[in-house]
Amino acid sequence: GPSKVQEDRRINQDVCGVFNLGMEAKTRLEDMLEITAQSLVHMEVAEHYQIIKELGKGKYGQVVLVTHRKRGTPMALKLLPKASTKLQNFLYEYCVALSLSTHPAIIGMFGIAIESSQHYGFLYEAALHRDLISIIKPKAGIPEVAAKLCAKQLVSALDFIHSRGLVYRDVKPENILLFDRHCQCIKLTDFGLTRPQGTLLRLVTGIIPYTAPELSCGTGDSPGLPIDASLDAWAFGVLIFCLLTGYFPWEKTLPEDSFFEDFVIWQESGLEEDIPFHWRPLSHDAIAMLRNLLALEPKKRGPLQQVLSYLDKPWRAEEGRKEGRKEGRREGGREGQGLATMLNRGDTLQILAVLALLFPMT
C-alpha cells in the first residue's frame, strides 16, 4: 500500500485542489453579484404577474405560483422581505442558483432578479407536483424504483455542484422538487446555504439528522472547519435511508442520541453483524453503500459516484420490502403529510414513537 508520506502528499494535493476550486467559485460569484446588483429590475409584482397560490413558506419568506400577465407563462416566484433580508444574501442565493441552473436536475432559472417596494425576488420554473417530502410515507418510504431514480439524479446534480467548486449543504427532501409523482424528473432547489469549497464553517447551531458529525462537535471558540463535498455525501446518505424506510436513522449526530451512538459503535466495529435494529429493512448492498456514505471520518466518505454501482442491486431486504408494501397499503396521503410535519419540526417524541412502534422491545 502507499506509504504515510505518499498518503499525506495525496491528501495535501486534494486539499489544495479543493481550495483552488473554491477560490475560483468565490471569484466567479463575486463578479456575478456585482453585475446583478446593477441590473436589478425594479417593479411591483402585481403589475406584471398574477399570483395563483402559495407553494411554500418559511423563515426566509415565501414561494408563490404566478403567471405572466401578458404571456401566461406559469412560474415560481421566491419573495424575500426586504425588512429581514440583506441585499447581499439575496443576490448571492440568486447568483448561485443561476450559475448552476444549466444542469437537468437543478431548478431552471428565468434570469430575472427583481426588487419591489417590500420584497426582493427571483423567478424559476414551477414544480407543480410539490416536493419529495410530500410522497414519503411514514414507516414505508417510497418505492425502491423511485428511490433509485432520485439517487441517480441527485448524484449527478451534486457532482456538478462540486465540480463548480461549491458545497450544497442543504440536502433534504423539502429541497427536492418533483416534476412528476414517480421521481422520473426531480430538481434541487434552494441554494441559500451553498458555499465555495474551503469556506470556514465556525458553528452549527441547529443540529438535524442531516448534519455531519464533525459539524456537531463545533464550538464558538473553534477556528472553523473548511467545508468540502463530504458534508453533502453524509446528508445524501441520510436522505437515502429516509427514502427507503420512512424514518430517520437518528435525530441528532451527538453522543446523547442513542440511535446515533449505536450506529457509531457499529461503524467503528467494522462488523457486518450487530446491525442496529432499525437498519434491518435494508439489504446488505444498501447497508454497505450507506456505511460508505456515512463514514465517520470525512475523508473516507463517498465518493457519490459509487452509489451508481449499486443501482442494479436490491436496496431493501426481502422482509423489509414486504413490510414496505403492507405499510404502503395502510398509509394514506394524510399520514404522508404527518411525516412531512414530523421531519420539518424534528419532533423527538413523534420520531421515537414511530421507531418504538416499528421495533418494540421484547
Could you list the residues known to form a binding site, using ranges: 78
Task: Record the cell numbers describing residue 284, joined without a space.
Answer: 446488505
Which string of DSSP letters, residue by residue, matches 182-224? TSSSEEE---TT-EETT-EE----S--TTS-HHHHT--TTS--
Instruction: Note if 8 is an active site residue.
Output: no
Cis peptide before 303 (omega within 30 of 0): yes
Please, how many CA atoms are within 13 Å of residue 152, restricted to the half-sphere of its CB? 14
What are the backbone angles phi and psi of residue 329, rounded to the nearest 5°?
A: -70, -35
What are the φ and ψ backbone dihedral angles of 226, each rounded to 5 degrees?
-70, 120
Among residues 14, 31, 131, 170, which one is catalytic?
170
d(CA 181, CA 130): 9
Annotated binding site for ATP: 78
End-to-end CA distance of the chain: 46
- For 127, 216, 333, the CA distances from 193, given in Å and listed in that order, are 21, 17, 31
Q: What is the DSSP letter of 44?
A: -
The amino acid present at 295, given as its one-letter code, is A
Displacement of CA 155 from its chain's centroid (Å) = 11
The DSSP element (H or E) to which 99 belongs, if any, is helix 87-100
Looking at the DSSP bridge assignments, the partners of residue 318 are none
CA-CA-CA-CA dihedral for 320, 325, 327, 331, to nearest 10 = 150
**Total residue count of the chain as it appears in this document:** 362
For residue 40, the 8-state DSSP code is P
d(CA 40, CA 113): 6
Active site residues: 170
